[in-house]
Structure 1
Amino acid sequence: MRIQITTDAAEFRSRVEPFLLRDPLRHTVLTTSIANHATGIDSVVGVSRFLSVHAEDAAVVGAAMRLADHDLYLGELPRDSVSAVAAALAEVAPDSAGVEGVLEVATSFAQRWCELLGRGFHQSYTVRLHRLGELRVPYVTGTARRAAESDVALCRAWTEAMRAELGMPPPGLDEAAIRRRVAAGRWWLWECDGEPVSLAAHQVPVHNWSRIGPVYTPPDARGHGYASAVTASVAKSLRADGLDVCLFADTSNSTANRIYRTIGFHPTHEFVHYAFD
């Protein structure tokens, strides 16, 4: 088994894409992050690391990444490779503040990482990946519209408020990255009486999949079904383009999990995030 690390997102994509696309739903974060990185839609400051695991015949059997100053993210990895992957990433990115992946892999990785670097770790959150089955569009007062340039500051403020509520680690999207996504038509607002009351965005489609997120309603506008409505509206638009749809929900947010199930989403995978002490 061999581990290879590159800082070139395009090179990494050409190497691992066939492996990732065997299960594009499971690897939605990796595929969209690579696409955003390679096309320059994200404002990346610093060096990113992209890791692939290769079998004896050179076939790719695992993948992971560390985007610039973000936390480590683990794709599918052979169980017997996790220790070596942790060692390889600890050597090139020892300042990483955390790791996310499916429970068994992320836990083994965090244990080995902390053994190597003499640190501890704790669980900060878990999220559940859902895929859309039969879409059920609720009736809610208001209408959806694509966000415009004049909405960028509001979108930035709401996404920062959402990250603070969820306890998500920095950095989030900066204003320039949101502006590029808005210009690409990927961010939507639900309006009621002419005022924005909820937000939903979607990621770049990869291999016929698009992931909705972030979704946010400010506290004073909650309880009216706006998040359900804007999420369903974005899902309907994506479905009309022939795309399959998925999204993440924090497992501790019973309201979000309930509304996503109500409009037709079904849970598939659970991911855990560990912060290194």
Structure 2
Amino acid sequence: MRIEITADAARFRSLTEPFLLCDPLRHTVITTGIANHLTGMQVDADHSRFLSVHDADATVIGVAMRAAGRGVYLGALPAGSVVPVAEALAEVAADADGVEGATEDATEFAEHWGKRHRIGYREAYSTRLYRLAELNFPSIVGSARRATDSDIGLCVEWTEAMRRESGMPPPSLTPIAIRNRISTGRWWLWERDGEPVSLAAHQVPVFGWSRIGPVYTPPAHRGRGYASILTAHVSRTLRWQNLHVCLFADTANPTANHIYRTIGFEPVRDFRHYQFTSAAIDL
């Protein structure tokens, strides 16, 4: 087994595309991350690192990523490779603030990382990946529209509120990052009587898939179906483009999970995010 790390997103895509194409749904975060780097959406892209695991024949058998300013994200990895992957990333991304991946892999990675760096770690949140099956379209008063530059402040405020509520670690999307994404037409608002009441966005389509997120409704507007109808609207728009649709939901949020199942999303896999703590520990 050999591990290769590069800062070149284009090289990584070329190297790992056959592997990623075998299960683009499983690797939606990594394929989206690559696309964001290649299209200039990723801030401080030079600080990102992409990792591939190769067998004796040089075939890619595993992937991981550390996007600039974020934690490590683990794709599918072969048995026995989590610790070597952690060791390799420790050499180039020692300042990573957390790790996310399939539950068993993320847990093993966090345990080894904590021992290696003599720090602690805690579970920050868990998510469930869903894929859209048959879309059920609810009937809710209001209408959808694409966000514009005049909505940047609102989108920044709501995404930051969502981050705080969910317990996700910083950074959240910056105004520049949100402006760039709005300019592509991928951010939507649901309006009731001319007032924005819910937000939903989708990621750049890659390998025939597009992932919805973030989705957020302020507390004052919850319980009225706005997130359901807007998510369904964005999903239908993507389906019209012959795209498969997926999304993540916080497993600690029963309302969100119920909403997504009701409009036709089916669960695929659970993921866990551990945040590393700065406090040293004795081992």
**Structure 1 length-normalised TM:** 0.98
- Any idea what the Cα deviations from partners look like across 1:123-157, whole Å, max 9, x if unmatched? 11100000000000100010011111111111111
What is the percent sequence identity of the aligned residues? 63
Match of 1:38? 38
Matches of residues 76-225 of structure 1 in structure 2 within 5 Å?
76-225=76-225
Match of 2:250? 250
The AA in structure 1 aligned to 2:119 is: R
- 1:41 and 1:117 map into 2 onto residues whose CA distance is 31
Match of 1:13? 13
The AA in structure 2 aligned to 1:270 is: D
Residues 43, 174 of structure 1: 8 Å contact kept: no
Matches of residues 48-67 of structure 1 in structure 2 within 5 Å?
48-67=48-67
Shift of 1:94: 1.1
Runs of 5+ unmatched residues, structure 1: none
- 2:44 and 2:243 map into 1 onto residues whose CA distance is 28
Match of 1:25? 25
The AA in structure 2 aligned to 1:273 is: H
The AA in structure 2 aligned to 1:27 is: H
The AA in structure 1 aligned to 2:59 is: A
Say which SS state the counterpart of residue 4 (structure 1) adopts.
strand
Match of 1:233? 233
The AA in structure 1 aligned to 2:129 is: L
CA RMSD of aligned residues (A): 0.9
- 1:138 and 1:270 map into 2 onto residues whose CA distance is 26
Residues 45, 69 of structure 1: 8 Å contact kept: no
Residues 110, 121 of structure 1: 8 Å contact kept: yes
The AA in structure 2 aligned to 1:183 is: S
Matches of residues 62-77 of structure 1 in structure 2 within 5 Å?
62-77=62-77
The AA in structure 1 aligned to 2:189 is: L
Runs of 5+ unmatched residues, structure 2: 278-283
Shift of 1:164: 0.7
Deviating more after overlay: 113-122 vs 233-242: 113-122
- 1:81 and 1:115 map into 2 onto residues whose CA distance is 17
Say which SS state the counterpart of residue 80 (structure 1) adopts.
coil
- 1:133 and 1:69 map into 2 onto residues whose CA distance is 34
The AA in structure 2 aligned to 1:65 is: M
Shift of 1:182: 0.7
- 1:124 and 1:136 map into 2 onto residues whose CA distance is 32
Shift of 1:258: 0.3
The AA in structure 2 aligned to 1:148 is: T
Residues 131, 268 of structure 1: 8 Å contact kept: yes
- 1:44 and 1:13 map into 2 onto residues whose CA distance is 18
Residues 205, 211 of structure 1: 8 Å contact kept: yes
Deviating more after overlay: 8-17 vs 241-250: 8-17
- 1:91 and 1:116 map into 2 onto residues whose CA distance is 11
The AA in structure 2 aligned to 1:136 is: N
Match of 2:281? none
Judged with a 3 Å threshold, the aligned counterparts in structure 2 of structure 1 residues 160 and 20 are, in CA distance, closer, same or farther, namely same
- Which structure 1 residue ranges, 4+ long, deviate > 6 Å from structure 2? none
Shift of 1:46: 5.4
